[in-house]
Amino acid sequence: MNLYFDNASTSFPKPQEVGEFINTYLNQGGTYGRAAYPRVFEASKMVEETRFMLSKYIGTSLVDNVIFTFNSTSALNTLIQGFSYKYKKILISPLEHNAVGRPLEFMKVSQGVNYQTLPHDDDGLINLDKLKSLKLNDIDLIIVNHVSNVNGLIQPLKDIKRIIGEIPFIVDASQSLGKVPVLADEWGIDMLAFTGHKGLNGPTGIGGFFIRNPKLVEPMIYGGTGSNSEKLVLPKFCPDRFEAGTQNIMGIYGLLGALKNQPKIKYTIDAYYLLLQRIKELSDIKMLISNSLENQSDVFSIQPNNVEVSLFTKLLYDIHKIEVRGGLQCSPLTHITLDTFPKGAIRFSLSNFHTDSDLNHLLSCIIDIHERLQSK
């Protein structure tokens, strides 16, 4: 039985090839793009193959504009802090993570950049009709979390971009890449941040971003790239513009192992919908999911009335060894939108390794804890 339901924090288990590829690198060694002997050629080839595979997941033909970072937090910091603001005005989705909220708050205090929330429904879905009627002519940047790490809502990126036109659009794909289709070129996404250790099933410490027009953003890190070394200015071309310093080559190997061996989804959508339905029927529980199942990913949360979130979470583990994350999930802005702040919620997040019987078992454990706490 797979009792791990905290895949939105970091996915587990990983495909076994993740470890195998990391091991290959540790035994083989070699830096990336900086010297000219076979060990380096081999490591560099693997890094470029990973970049290429990521470009397919992102849906872009601009392979060199896929940049490696440590995670999506470092990617989002580069994009948000490095952006050249004219009007100092940003619009964000109502379901943002602190990886966006905190850099924005920093920019507000340090540079007077203002951010406001896009019009939305009560589940956080961006309201396209209201968006159409907004005056957007002095907005520098729009940032949208593709899949919420609290209620799992999937935002309609293509429609949003169609409405906002030329305004640069950053997508936080931390929870979506590898799980929900992304078509960056077709939808016109300008920038997209991702992380390797969640839906892509890779190791921690590796992530990145895609940037269509690199001139929009100044790099955060300056240093050696192995290219144009005679000049003290950083090269302007990608990926070097944003990849100074030796990258996490070991992590990139592990990610490649994952990308080449993505697990097929083992549970059925019917079993998942049944799980959601049965939890919804429980009394005294607020369910955090999207209003329409069409926009629902494999992440959802619950907030029990009259019971501490930490107690419910602790009992799930102590009695049933179910591993989940309770609290605010680093997303106070999301909980404010969903009216679950500051108490927070208990989050359940699936992996493709779960089976229908894992989901049935989870349901019985939730019902058991719920009944125990009700009868107290």
Ligand X SMILES: Cc1ncc(COP(=O)(O)O)c(C=O)c1O
User: What end-to-end distance do the CA atoms of the chain give, in Å?
Assistant: 29
Which residue's CB is nearer to ligand X, number 71 or number 201?
A: 71
Q: How far apart are CA 170 and CA 336, in angstroms?
A: 22
Closest CA to 302 of 325, 318, 273, 330: 325
Is 73 near ligand X (CB under 6 A)?
A: yes
* Angle of CA points 237, 241, 247, to nearest 5°: 125
Q: How far apart are CA 75 and CA 223, in angstroms?
A: 17
Is 175 near ligand X (CB under 6 A)?
A: yes
Chosen residue from 2, 145, 337, 340 binding ligand X by CB under 6 A: 145
Which residue's CB is nearer to ligand X, number 73 or number 296?
A: 73
Which residue's CB is nearer to ligand X, number 91 or number 193?
A: 193
Which residue's CB is nearer to ligand X, number 73 or number 301?
A: 73
CB-based contact 346:287 (threshold 8 Å): no
Query: In the structure encoding, which two tokens stand for residue 100, read together?
Result: 């966006």
Q: Binding pattern to ligand X, positions 200-239, x when CB under 6 A?
A: -------x--------------------------------
Q: Which stretch binds ligand X (CB under 6 A): 132-140, 171-179, 227-235, 246-254?
A: 171-179
Which residue's CB is nearer to ligand X, number 171 or number 234?
A: 171
Least gap, CB of 130 to ligand X (angstroms): 23
Closest CA to 251 of 65, 50, 76, 107: 50
Which residue's CB is nearer to ligand X, number 148 or number 303?
A: 148
Q: Which stretch binds ligand X (CB under 6 A): 66-74, 158-166, 289-297, 350-358?
A: 66-74
CB-based contact 97:143 (threshold 8 Å): no
Is 44 near ligand X (CB under 6 A)?
A: no
Q: How far apart are CA 353 and CA 355, in angstroms?
A: 7
Chosen residue from 44, 60, 149, 290 binding ligand X by CB under 6 A: 149
Tokens 């209003």 found at: 291
Least gap, CB of 295 to ligand X (angstroms): 15
Is 99 near ligand X (CB under 6 A)?
A: yes
Least gap, CB of 152 to ligand X (angstroms): 11
Q: Which stretch binds ligand X (CB under 6 A): 24-32, 69-77, 78-86, 101-109?
A: 69-77
Which residue's CB is nearer to ligand X, number 101 or number 214?
A: 101
Tokens 């005294």 found at: 284
Is 78 near ligand X (CB under 6 A)?
A: no
Which residue's CB is nearer to ligand X, number 101 or number 257?
A: 101
Q: What is the DSSP letter of 154?
A: B
Chosen residue from 77, 93, 151, 174 binding ligand X by CB under 6 A: 174
124 torsion bin: left (phi>0), alpha (psi -120 to 50), beta (else)? left
Cβ contacts of 338 within 8 Å, gap of 6 or more = 122, 123, 124, 150, 151, 288
Q: Which stretch binds ligand X (CB under 6 A): 106-114, 151-159, 168-176, 351-359?
A: 168-176
Which residue's CB is nearer to ligand X, number 143 or number 315?
A: 143
Which residue's CB is nearer to ligand X, number 46 or number 177?
A: 177
Chosen residue from 123, 140, 172, 240 binding ligand X by CB under 6 A: 172
Q: How far is CA 235 from the centre of its chain?
A: 29
Using CB atoms within 10 A of its CB, is residue 251 exposed (0-12), middle (13-18) or buried (19+)?
buried
Chosen residue from 72, 77, 93, 349 binding ligand X by CB under 6 A: 72
Is 301 near ligand X (CB under 6 A)?
A: no
Query: In the structure encoding, which two tokens stand for residue 172, read together?
Result: 């936080």
* Angle of CA points 157, 159, 165, to nearest 5°: 95
Least gap, CB of 207 to ligand X (angstroms): 6
Least gap, CB of 106 to ligand X (angstroms): 16
The DSSP annotation for 292-348 comes to: SGGGB-SEEEEEETTS-HHHHHHHHHHHH--B-EEE-TT-HHHHHHTT-TTT-EEEE
**Residues near ligand X (CB under 6 A):** 8, 71-73, 97, 99, 145, 149, 172, 174-175, 195, 207, 330
